[in-house]
Amino acid sequence: MIILDHNTGLITLHTRRTTYQMKADQHGVLLHTYYGSRIRGDLSRLIPYADRGFSPNPDEAAGDRTYSLDVLPQEYSGSGNGDYRLSSLALELPDGSCGADFRYTDCIIIHDKYELDGLPAFFGISDEAETLVITLEDTVAQVSVQLLYGVFEAYDLITRAVRVVNHGDRTIRILQAASLCLDLPSADLDLITFDGRHTYERVPHRAPLRPGVQSVGSLRGISSHQHNPFVVLCAPDAGEDHALCYGAMLLYSGNFQAAVERNQFDTARLTLGIHPDGFTWNLAPGETFCTPEAALICSPDGFGPMSRNFHRAIRDCLIRDPWAGRPKPVLVNSWETTYFDFDDSKLLALAKESAALGVELFVLDDGWFGHRNDDRGGLGDWWTNESKLPGGLAPFSRKLRELGMSLGLWIEPECVSEDSALYAAHPDWVLNPPGRPYVRGRDQLVLDFTRKEVRDAVFGMLRKTLDGVDLAYLKWDMNRCLTAPWSAALPPERQGEVSHRYVLGVYELLERFRKTWPNVLIEGCAGGGGRFDAGMLYYTPQIWCSDNTDAIDRLTIQYGTSFAYPPCTMGAHVASVPSCHTDRWASLAVRGTVAMSGAFGYELDLGALSPEEKAEVAQQVAEYKAVQDLIRNGDYYRLSRPDGPYTAWANVSRNQREALVSLVAGPAVAAPPFLFLKLQGLDPKLQYRINDEPELWPGDILMQAGYPLPLLREHTAIRLHLTAE
């Protein structure tokens, strides 16, 4: 709900449990007054004013030394205007000066959610979401900004985006454009970031705010394995079910920065948006630049409610899943079984074994095209290698149908090998500065997706190859970062736009794929979790969570991922042992339990299993199909951290009548203590049957006293299926 008071300049956004408020003051500065638990009244009375040394005063203050932009909480900060904290927007004007100083002019309410041209965004109709548009102007620069707010009351979700408009008669340069700025009155907060590396992504790291600026980001051209475009600010004592926290997410798949500043007066400012390093944008007269969307959720009661609200909003108002409302197929991926060494007979033998166990989707990974026999060449020639698949993909897909299976396919359309026909014909189609030797990643180069003709060529090849193919699934991979991005299609003064234009090009091609094959499920991937962000989820309803399929490592990876992203978006497979990444063994039961926490599948030679193991796989598949809707659409509860005696989590139906509790034991200890697992999300008044136990358990006992665990052996798994009676 959006409430405007045009007399006082007060603007209030109410969600189900929170209030976000701002106010245009007597000088037209849009002040941020409050964000927290739902509350009434004008909170601008809480803003203190004092004469602060070396905090300058704007001209409008007319000698009032208690009024300084360096001190006041602002809704969208400028630059070069006496506010020395983090800038939201920085401009270079035609005269060479740099700065941005905006004043409030007006605002309107739209009874639908705004859309962003060429960029992902949460969506909602009038009974689900409202839009607030606030206009600020810098009259000297002849530039206005439109601050866009989407209010999703049921999810406690507020989205943010900014449109920058040049009203002058000369081109200006944008040097920085954050999607959100959030000023908070106290810096007594912890910052949680989600960091890691290839094969160990999104591990939570928590630390108190210190004086100065703390930031994470990516300059790799993708959102990266190293840092995720999602952060949490929280009270020092915040936990899963208590104390205030703020989650901030950027719907963007390229260079980003999340920065928090604790200033000299112990207030905090968070900015989130495109990384300013190396970024510029030339904005001609009459043109508009739009930032990516950011999303905010405030939880007065800890991380759990914040995560569940993000999960619900992403499921309901962001991902566009062709399998929505119907069971997704359990898949088997060929990669860890065959790598590049296969032909149709080997693949069909694997498919036949898999189909017999209840698996429904066969994913043919890398190596099916061009002369691709290893990862050193052949990338970019998107026609079928008929020495491996005689007649092409169409007859192969028909043979799979005869086995009762669908075909899935791996592609990596953004990159190219130098020995490909595509590169031989168009060497200028790669991103690289003139005269510079190539910097290769995985022996491949990145195509210039800023150029429509490049995207058209890749799309045309794949469309011709896939014509007549019975395709159900597409895995879209990207196995290297951008280095020194330079486009032959742009003049020197626009090279700072390349990285952002590249991301826009990826989004455009993904949308074209989605519209051309509307019934095909696209799974995102970038060496696993290198581009696991909400921007990609708008186009790819699930993402391969990590190349690391070791079940014990996945406990931590999926735990960190769950703070922002729902289980249904996490590609998770049972893989072979010992793990190719850790050389660790884990039982089939543990691997199945961990993989069932996401979009479930297998990545091993099912035909090589023993009869007992095959029976266990068939049982896993049947169990997953029985509880798939609960995992995909239920509420997710983290019941423990992954560094204790066990890692436990629960999926609970929205009506609280069914739950699946999963647990994997940690390292063995001598003489272990007796443990009781306290559940969450149940109805305290209901009685629950657990698995086939004859005794019923009251919901309040399970949540307050706990469920007694057996003595746990190292890395064993337990699954408890609860149904209310």
* Structure token digits, residue 334: 């060929």
Report, as an integer, the average pLDDT of 15-36.
97
Q: What local confidence, expressed as pLDDT, does residue 304 receive?
A: 98
CATH 2.60.40.1180 maps onto the chain at 646-724
Q: Does the annotation count 341 as an active-site position? A: no
Q: What local confidence, expressed as pLDDT, does residue 6 receive?
A: 86
CATH 2.70.98.60 maps onto the chain at 2-317
Q: What local confidence, expressed as pLDDT, does residue 127 receive?
A: 82
DSSP state of 228: -
Phi/psi region, residue 142 (left: phi>0; alpha: psi -120 to 50; beta: rest), is left
- In CATH, what class is 2-317? mainly beta
Report, as an integer, the average pLDDT of 227-250.
98
Rounded distance, CA 193 to CA 226, Å? 10
Per-residue pLDDT band at 608 (split at 50, 70, 90): very high
Residue 257 Cα distances to 215, 220, 292, angstroms: 7, 12, 12
In this structure, which CATH number among 3.10.580.10, 2.60.120.10, 2.60.40.1180, 1.10.287.610 belongs to the domain 646-724?
2.60.40.1180
Q: Does the annotation count 613 as an active-site position? A: yes
- State the average pLDDT for the chain: 96
DSSP state of 319: -
Specify the pairing of strand 331-333 against strand 599-603: parallel
Rounded distance, CA 276 to CA 156, Å? 29
Report, as an integer, the average pLDDT of 472-501.
97
> What is the number of other CB atoms lying within 10 angstroms of the CB of residue 258?
26
Rounded distance, CA 162 to CA 76, Å? 10
Q: 546, 581 in Cβ contact below 8 A?
A: no
Specify the pairing of strand 331-333 against strand 361-364: parallel
Residue 57 Cα distances to 28, 187, 294, 516, angstroms: 14, 23, 31, 57
Q: What local confidence, expressed as pLDDT, does residue 63 receive?
A: 85
Rounded distance, CA 78 to CA 177, Å? 10
Residue 358, H or E segment: none
Q: What local confidence, expressed as pLDDT, does residue 126 receive?
A: 76
DSSP state of 691: T
The per-residue pLDDT for range 106-139, each reduced to its tens digit, is 999 999 999 999 999 999 977 889 999 999 999 9
Q: What are phi and psi of 395, to 5 degrees?
A: -65, -30
Specify the pairing of strand 103-110 against strand 445-446: unpaired
Domain 331-413+454-479+521-633, CATH homologous superfamily name and number: Aldolase class I (3.20.20.70)
Rounded distance, CA 724 to CA 500, Å? 51
Q: Which of 470, 613, 616, 629 is catalytic?
A: 613
Predicted TM-score (pTM) above 0.85:
yes
Report, as an integer, the average pLDDT of 484-503.
97
Q: Determine the 3-state secondary structure of 671 from DSSP.
A: coil
Q: Which of 533, 550, 553, 635 is catalytic?
A: 533
Residue 288, H or E segment: strand 288-290
Q: What local confidence, expressed as pLDDT, does residue 125 receive?
A: 79
Per-residue pLDDT band at 62 (split at 50, 70, 90): confident
Per-residue pLDDT band at 402 (split at 50, 70, 90): very high
Report, as an integer, the average pLDDT of 264-288.
97
Report, as an integer, the average pLDDT of 176-197.
97
The per-residue pLDDT for range 289-326, each reduced to its tens digit, is 999 999 999 999 999 999 999 999 999 999 999 999 89
Rounded distance, CA 77 to CA 57, Å? 15
Report, as an integer, the average pLDDT of 438-453.
97
664 burial level (CB within 10 Å; 0-12, 13-18, 19+) = buried
Rounded distance, CA 537 to CA 104, Å? 34
Q: What are phi and psi of 127, to 5 degrees?
A: -85, 0
Rounded distance, CA 202 to CA 271, Å? 20
Report, as an integer, the average pLDDT of 154-161.
98
Per-residue pLDDT band at 635 (split at 50, 70, 90): very high
Instruction: Flag whether pLDDT at 461 surpasses 90.
Output: yes
CATH 3.20.20.70 maps onto the chain at 331-413+454-479+521-633
Counting residues of the chain whose pLDDT is more than 70, the rounded percentage is 100
Phi/psi region, residue 709 (left: phi>0; alpha: psi -120 to 50; beta: rest), is beta
Residue among 203, 332, 179, 320 nearest 256 (CA): 179
Q: Determine the 3-state secondary structure of 452 from DSSP.
A: helix
The per-residue pLDDT for range 531-569, each reduced to its tens digit, is 999 999 999 999 999 999 999 999 999 999 999 999 999
Report, as an integer, the average pLDDT of 148-170.
97
Rounded distance, CA 49 to CA 39, Å? 23
